[in-house]
Structure 1
């Protein structure tokens, strides 16, 4: 699981930061999932190592322009660059109507199927490897945060050990790899778990923006390996944060701390903290680290590989 930030500014783009968009790359599936799609996101794709042809799911937090104005352009480009099999889009009420109206007035017709899912709190997608859920945040309009949970999987199968036990290769190996118990032709029963390494614990990612500090964000971020959280304002500008229902750096840190998360990556920064101003982004980082030390500041094209850990390691550190 690899996270790439395609836009880390709030409201408007700057020379070095585009507006909100975060990509989750799943190499084992050759898939890219996108969270929010601000204006210019398709250009950010071109400047990154991501392949737009692998895009298959898009999750929208809310209907403000800096999170959705790039959506129609990106979808149109996907069709021209080589039609994907299908793109599923998840978001709040009004998203489907917005896309239909945009397509109607611009005469845009997609050469591949698109399915828009209006989300409600709870699980909105699940397959053999992942569960994606969403929950309400606290913003000026309806806003949702997302949580991606990778399911635990059996550890690495020891082929050499299986051969030493005289287990014939073939369908039996598949069952043993899944940790099942099989009966060999000679009557021996083999427990697949004994031929596999330690269980690999599934990773957890939370994406929370736009929102002021709220329990909904804490719930989404529970014991996450990575929490991606907006930090529009410095602590000194908390009054602005309350007025506009955005988070400060300290609020983001408090969410990660309360959720017992492993790492916090802050994004969605106000352009007011540009170099040369009285308060700069390094100050926001210092504020957050004073509460939650394992904090990083995202920047455009910053990529983070989410580490995998054994289930026993998670138990010992929780």
Structure 2
């Protein structure tokens, strides 16, 4: 998987950072496999600087309905339609997402020529596409807000074909059943359990993608043990009271969560427009003092998971 950051500012854009949006490229060989998380104003313009276009989007996940995370959605939906994309698109987000989307399209005389499904979510598993699951966790913010945990299914271990041949199992269709962990019966009556001939499964990759939030109980469950955690660091550590009072977190609080949850890497984003390049580097430095495997997201930065 790859993370493409389209917007990394908080609240308002700056000269170098647009408002929040992030692509998750699932790198699946046969599916569109492109998901968007949040869609601030100008997101479709930001996509022009990437290898992707809105027609490849399969799913869009909205964390909450504040404008900096949402106001780019109507334009992107319409442009996708005018470009002639026939592929279905599914939107996920809190209650009110349907009303916002349908009202914006209706009042502007717009429509979509592709199948559009809108799913208003609550806490819990919201998707299992056979390859991965997505679970929504409620966060601490003035509006209903969610973070999303994306976890790939474990990949089955390799089949020990040499051992099977030594056991008298002929290559062919039986191997496919055994690779799936099934038990097969041979012509001589013996039963062979595929699980006995499989190497240990490879754990699927996992990411925790936070919406806006002050520290909260659900955050630890959302982030626990993931390979990559993407978390806001709106303000510096000295401004903790102000950040938390508005439903946000500081750099230090993001790093403390990463350490407590045992994540592999922390990527900070959603940085206040008060910080220039040097200020953003200070936020990163504050994180690294607590959690060394911290990285700073800039617009158009790409991270592999």
What TM-score, normalized by structure 1, do the two folds share?
A: 0.88
Partner of 1:21: 21
- Once residues 195 and 76 of structure 1 are traced to their aligned partners in structure 2, the CA distance between those partners, rounded to angstroms, is 52
Partner of 1:156: 158
Distance 1:285 1:171, change over 3 A: same
1:193: Cα distance to partner? 3.5
- Once residues 232 and 59 of structure 1 are traced to their aligned partners in structure 2, the CA distance between those partners, rounded to angstroms, is 21
Q: Which runs of 5+ in 2 are unaligned?
A: none
- Once residues 186 and 152 of structure 1 are traced to their aligned partners in structure 2, the CA distance between those partners, rounded to angstroms, is 33
Q: Which runs of 5+ in 1 are unaligned?
A: 307-318
1:59: Cα distance to partner? 0.8
Distance 1:200 1:84, change over 3 A: farther
- Once residues 189 and 51 of structure 1 are traced to their aligned partners in structure 2, the CA distance between those partners, rounded to angstroms, is 51
Distance 1:247 1:79, change over 3 A: same
Q: Is the 8 Å Cα contact of residues 56 and 84 (structure 1) preserved in structure 2?
A: no
Partner of 1:3: 3
Aligned residue for 1:110, secondary structure, equals: coil
- Once residues 246 and 296 of structure 1 are traced to their aligned partners in structure 2, the CA distance between those partners, rounded to angstroms, is 19
Q: Is the 8 Å Cα contact of residues 172 and 182 (structure 1) preserved in structure 2?
A: yes
1:54: Cα distance to partner? 2.5
Output the aligned Cα RMSD. Answer: 2.0
Aligned residues: 303
- Tell me whether 1:254 sits opposite 2:253 in the alignment: no
What TM-score, normalized by structure 2, do the two folds share?
A: 0.92
Q: For 1:242-268, what per-residue CA distance to the aligned partner results, in whole angstroms no more than 9, with x for missing partners?
A: 332211101111221222222111100
Distance 1:50 1:193, change over 3 A: farther
Distance 1:302 1:161, change over 3 A: farther
Q: For 1:219-244, what per-residue CA distance to the aligned partner results, in whole angstroms no more than 9, with x for missing partners?
A: 21111111110001111222321332
1:48: Cα distance to partner? 0.8
Partner of 1:38: 40
- Once residues 45 and 195 of structure 1 are traced to their aligned partners in structure 2, the CA distance between those partners, rounded to angstroms, is 46
Distance 1:169 1:51, change over 3 A: farther
Partner of 1:212: 214
Partner of 2:284: 285
- Once residues 103 and 134 of structure 1 are traced to their aligned partners in structure 2, the CA distance between those partners, rounded to angstroms, is 26
Distance 1:53 1:176, change over 3 A: farther
Partner of 1:312: none
Q: Is the 8 Å Cα contact of residues 84 and 113 (structure 2) preserved in structure 1?
A: no
- Once residues 169 and 305 of structure 1 are traced to their aligned partners in structure 2, the CA distance between those partners, rounded to angstroms, is 37
1:157: Cα distance to partner? 3.9
Aligned residue for 2:134, secondary structure, equals: strand
1:154: Cα distance to partner? 0.4
Distance 1:74 1:185, change over 3 A: farther
1:5: Cα distance to partner? 1.1
Q: For 1:102-158, what per-residue CA distance to the aligned partner results, in whole angstroms no more than 9, with x for missing partners?
A: 001111110011111111111111232211111211112111111112121202345
Aligned residue for 2:64, secondary structure, equals: coil
Q: For 1:31-69, what per-residue CA distance to the aligned partner results, in whole angstroms no more than 9, with x for missing partners?
A: 111110111111222211234333111110111111001
Aligned residue for 1:200, secondary structure, equals: coil
- Once residues 55 and 172 of structure 2 are traced to their aligned partners in structure 1, the CA distance between those partners, rounded to angstroms, is 34
- Once residues 76 and 299 of structure 1 are traced to their aligned partners in structure 2, the CA distance between those partners, rounded to angstroms, is 27
